Structure 1
Amino acid sequence: MDSKKHSFKRWIMLSILCLGGGIIYQLPFLRFAYYIPMQKALGLTNMQFGNLSSVYGIVAMICYFPGGWLADRFSCRKMLAFSFVATGLGGFYFSTFPSYRMCIVLHAFWGCVTIFTYWAALIKAVRMLGDSSEQGRLYGLLEGGRGLVSTLAGLAILSIFAKMGQSTFGLAWVINLYAGLSIAVGIITWFVLEDSKKEEKSSSVLKDTILVVKDTRVWLIALLIFTTYSVYCGQTYLTPYVTTIYGASVAIGALLGIIRSYVLQMAGGAAFGFIADKVGSSAKVMFVGYIIMIICLVIFMVLPGNKALLPIVIVNMLALGFVAYGMRGIYFATVDEVKISISVAGAAAGFASLIGYIPDAFIYSLMGNWLDKYPGQLGYKYIFIFLFVIEVIGLVVSILLLRVIKKKAYHVSGEELCK
C-alpha cells in the first residue's frame, strides 16, 4: 500500500514539474507568438525587440553553471517555487508595458529566475523521482508533458486574446494570465513537492567546479546536448524549406510547423523515454537516434528540388523532428547512467547545459547568413551539411560515452565480485 501511495505521489510531483516547465518560459518567449502586438504595445523597434532576446540569452547562458552549484546546496522545492512566483511577479509588471530600459532589466531578471534558480533544480528534482531504471521515462515524460502544457495553455489563452479583439488590453490579459498561472504553480510546488532526503553536502564551490570541469563524463554529456540541440535549432528552417523549395502552401508549412513544435515534442519525448527504460540505456537509444538523424540529413542533402518529392520531404522532416525531440527528452538521463554523484548532479547538469546550449548563441545567425548569401536550395544544402557533420560528431561522442558506461559497469561488477 505504501509503495502504491509513494508511486502516486511521485507521478503527482512529476505532473507539477511538467506543468511548471510548460508555463515558466512562456513569458520570456511570448514574443514568438505575439510579436506584432507586443512590439506595438511596447513601442519598440525590431532591433530593440531583438535586444530583449539577446539580454535574456546572455544572462541565461551565464547562469547555467552557477545555477547547478546552487541546486546542489539548496532545496529544489524552494528554488522551483521561488522561480515560478518570481517569474509571475515579473509578468504582472510586464503587463503594464514598461519603458525599453525597464524591459531590458526585466528580461535580465527573467534570465536569472528561469535558469539560475530553476533549470538545474528542475533536472535534479526529476532525477530524484526515480531510480536508474526509470530515468529515461521520467525525463521523456517531462519533455512530453512540457509540450502538452504549453500547447493547451497557449491555445486557451490565444482564444481569449482573439475574443478580446487582439488589442493591447487583450495582450495585457494574456500576460497576466501567464503570470497568474506561474504564481499558482509556484504555490502548488511549495506545498506539494517534497524535499529529498538530506544528501551529503558537496564541498566548496571551487572543489566542485574543478571536479565537474575535469570529469570526462560531463564533457561527453555536454557534447551530446550540443549536437542534439543543434539539430533542434536547425529544424526551424525546415518550414521555409518545404514552402520555398518544394512549393508547399503557407498553410501546409504552418501546419507542419505546429506539428513539429508541439505534437512531436509530446510524442517524441515520451516515446524515447519509455524506449530508453525498456532498453535499459538512454545512451544506447541516443546512439541509434544519431544514426537515424544522419540518414535523414543525408536524404535532405541528396534530394533534388523537385516539387513531386514533397511527400518524401515531409515524412523525412517529421522523422527528423520526432527523433530530435525524443533525444532532447532523454539526454539528461545519461547523468544518472554514467553514475555521476547526486551531490554534484546539479553542477554537472549546469555545466553540461552551459556547453550544450551554446548553439543558441550562433546557429541562427550562421544559418540565416547562409540563406541570405546563397539563396535557393544551396543555402539549405549548407545547413544540412553543417548539421550532418555535427551529428557525425554526436555519433562518435555517443560511442565514447557507451564505452565509459561499459567500463564503469565492469569496474563496479569487479568490485562486487571481490567482496
Structure 2
Amino acid sequence: MENRNSNTKKWFTLAVLILGGGTVFKLPWLKDAFYIPMMDYFHLTHTQIGFTLTVYAFIQTFGYIISMYVADRFSKKKLMPVSLIGIGLTGFYLTTFPSYYEILFIWGLFALFAEIAFWPVLIKAVRLLGDSDEQGRMFGFLEAGRGIVDTVIAFAALGIFKWLGEGAAGLRGAIIFFSITMIIIAIILYFLLEDDEIKIEDGKGNKINKNKAAFEGALKAIKMPEIWVVAFTIFSVYSVYIGLTYFIPFLKEIYGIPVALVGVYGIINQYGLKMLGGPIGGFLADKKFKSSSKYLRVAFAASIIGMIIFILLPHQTLNIYVGVTFTLAYGAIIFTQRAVFFAPIEEVGIPREISGAAVSIACLVGYAPSMFAFTLYGSMLDRSPGMEGYRHVFLTMIAFAVIGFIISSYLVKIVNKKKQSQENFEANEINT
C-alpha cells in the first residue's frame, strides 16, 4: 500500500511540474502564435524580432553558469513559482506595447526567469522523481504533457485574440491571458510542490554553509567528464532539431504545399510530435533498450539513414503527402530523442545532490545551438535558393547527427563501464 501511495504521489508531482513546464515559455516564444501581430503592434521588423531572440539565447546560454549555483541552492517550491510570477508580471509590462529597446530588456528578463531560474530546476526535479530505470518514461511524459498544455493554452490565447477583433486589443488580451495563467499556476505549484531536502549538516554532524555547498557542488559537476559527454550529446540532438524548422518552407517552396496546410503542418510539427515522441521515446529507452544512452545512439543512426534517403528522393516529382509524411516521420525520431536526452545524467552516475549543477551544464552546452544554428541554416538558404540550399541544410543535419552518433557511442561505453564496476562491487560485497 505504501509503495502504491508513493507511486501515485510521484506521478501527481510530475503532473504538477508539467503544468509549469507547459506554460513557462508561452510569453518568451510569443512569436510562435503571434509573429505578425508582434510586427504590427510592437512595430518590429523581421531582423528586430530575430535580434530579440538572439538576446534571449545569449542570456539563456551564459545564464546557465549562474544556474549551476542557483538550482542546487534553492528549493523548487520557491524558485519555480517565483519564476512564473516574474514572467507573468513582465508580461503585464509587455501589454503597454513598449519601445524596441524596452522589448529587448523584457526578453532578457524572460530568459532570466524561464531559462535560468526555472528550466534547470524543472529538469532536476523530474530526475529526482524517478529511479534509474524510470528516467526515460519520466522525461518522455514530461515532454508529452508539455505538448498537451502547450496546445490547450496556445489555442485558448488564439481564441481570445480572435474574440477581441484580431487587432491590438486582441494581442493585449492574449498576453494578459498568458500572464494571468502563469501566476495562477505559480500559486498552484507553491501549494502542491514539496520543499527539496537541502542538507544542512555533513556526515559528521557539522553545519554546512549552503552557499559554500552549492558552489562546491557546481565545481564538482564541472570537473566530471561524464556530464560534458551528456551535454554534447544534447548539443547534437538540438542542432538537428533546429533543422526541423526548415521543413516548413521546404514543403512550401519545393512541394507547393497550400498555405492552409502549412498551418496544420506547423501545429503537428511543433505540438503533435512532442505529444507523440515523448511517450514513445521514454518507452523505447526504458523498456526496449533498457538505456537512454543506447536509444539515443540508435536514433542518431536512424536519423542519419533517414535523411540520406530523403535527400536522394526525386522531390520535384513526388506527391505532397509523401513529403509531409516523410518529414513528420523524421521529426518524430528527433522528438523521441528530445524527450530522453537528459535521462543519461542518471545513467552515468551523477550524484543526486549536484543534479541542479549537472543539468545547468547540460543546458549550457546542449542548448548552445540556438545561438548559431538558425543563422547557419538560414544563411545556407539565402546563399543558395531552392533545392540546393535545402540540400546543404539537410547535409549539415546529417553531419550533426554523425557527431551525435560518435559522442553517444562513447556515452554508452561510459554507462557500460559504470554498470560493470557496480556489478563487480556488488559481487565483492557478497563474497566478503
Same fold (TM over 0.5): yes
- Structure 2: how far apart are the matches of 1:344 and 1:154? 35
Pick aligned residue for 1:215 from 213, 224, 247: 224
- Structure 1: how far apart are the matches of 2:411 and 2:51? 38
Pick aligned residue for 2:273 from 238, 255, 264: 264
Percent identity over the alignment is 37
Shift of 1:184: 0.8
* Structure 1: 5+ residue stretches without partners: none
Equivalent residue number for residue 86 of structure 1: 86
Encode CA deviations 1:78-124: one digit per residue, 9 max, x unaligned.
11111111111111121122233322222111111111211111111
1:288 aligns with 2:298: yes
1:183 aligns with 2:183: yes
- Residue identity opposite 2:428 in structure 1: C
- Residue identity opposite 1:241 in structure 2: F
Question: What pairs with 1:199-348 in structure 2 (closer than 5 Å)?
Answer: 199=199, 207-279=216-288, 280-348=290-358
Shift of 1:341: 0.5
Equivalent residue number for residue 364 of structure 2: 354
- Structure 1: how far apart are the matches of 2:394 and 2:36? 31
Check the 8 A contact 2:120/2:360 in 1, yes or no.
Answer: yes
Pick aligned residue for 1:364 from 374, 379, 389: 374
Equivalent residue number for residue 6 of structure 1: 6
Shift of 1:159: 1.3
Check the 8 A contact 1:239/1:254 in 2, yes or no.
Answer: no
Check the 8 A contact 2:70/2:117 in 1, yes or no.
Answer: yes
Check the 8 A contact 1:219/1:352 in 2, yes or no.
Answer: yes
- Structure 2: how far apart are the matches of 1:247 and 1:36? 22
Check the 8 A contact 1:132/1:337 in 2, yes or no.
Answer: yes
- Structure 2: how far apart are the matches of 1:306 and 1:172? 43
- Structure 1: how far apart are the matches of 2:132 and 2:113? 29
Check the 8 A contact 2:88/2:178 in 1, yes or no.
Answer: yes
Pick aligned residue for 1:416 from 406, 426, 432: 426
Check the 8 A contact 2:67/2:357 in 1, yes or no.
Answer: yes
SS in 2 for 1:332: coil
- Structure 2: how far apart are the matches of 1:195 and 1:208? 19
Equivalent residue number for residue 15 of structure 1: 15
Equivalent residue number for residue 196 of structure 2: 196
- Structure 2: how far apart are the matches of 1:298 and 1:48? 35
- For the aligned residues, what is the CA RMSD? 1.8
Shift of 1:309: 5.0
1:109 aligns with 2:109: yes
Encode CA deviations 1:342-397: one digit per residue, 9 max, x unaligned.
12111111111111111111111111111111111111111111111111111111
Give the alignment's TM-score, normalised by structure 1: 0.95
Equivalent residue number for residue 205 of structure 2: none
- Structure 1: how far apart are the matches of 2:375 and 2:8? 45
Check the 8 A contact 1:140/1:271 in 2, yes or no.
Answer: yes
Check the 8 A contact 2:236/2:400 in 1, yes or no.
Answer: yes
SS in 2 for 1:117: helix
Equivalent residue number for residue 42 of structure 2: 42
Check the 8 A contact 1:68/1:121 in 2, yes or no.
Answer: no
- Structure 2: how far apart are the matches of 1:301 and 1:390? 16
Q: Matched residue pairs, number?
A: 419
Shift of 1:205: 5.8
Check the 8 A contact 2:274/2:335 in 1, yes or no.
Answer: yes
Shift of 1:66: 1.9
Shift of 1:412: 1.1
* Structure 2: 5+ residue stretches without partners: 203-207
Shift of 1:152: 0.9
| Pair 1:143–1:74, CA change in 2 (3 A) | same
- Structure 1: how far apart are the matches of 2:357 and 2:279? 26
Shift of 1:410: 0.9
Encode CA deviations 1:203-259: one digit per residue, 9 max, x unaligned.
556644443233221111111111111111001111111221123323333322221
- Residue identity opposite 2:156 in structure 1: A
- Structure 2: how far apart are the matches of 1:245 and 1:43? 32
1:397 aligns with 2:379: no
- Structure 2: how far apart are the matches of 1:310 and 1:296? 18
- Structure 1: how far apart are the matches of 2:413 and 2:100? 51
Question: What pairs with 1:131-150 in structure 2 (closer than 5 Å)?
Answer: 131-150=131-150
Check the 8 A contact 2:14/2:126 in 1, yes or no.
Answer: yes
- Residue identity opposite 2:88 in structure 1: G
- Residue identity opposite 2:426 in structure 1: E
Check the 8 A contact 2:72/2:214 in 1, yes or no.
Answer: no
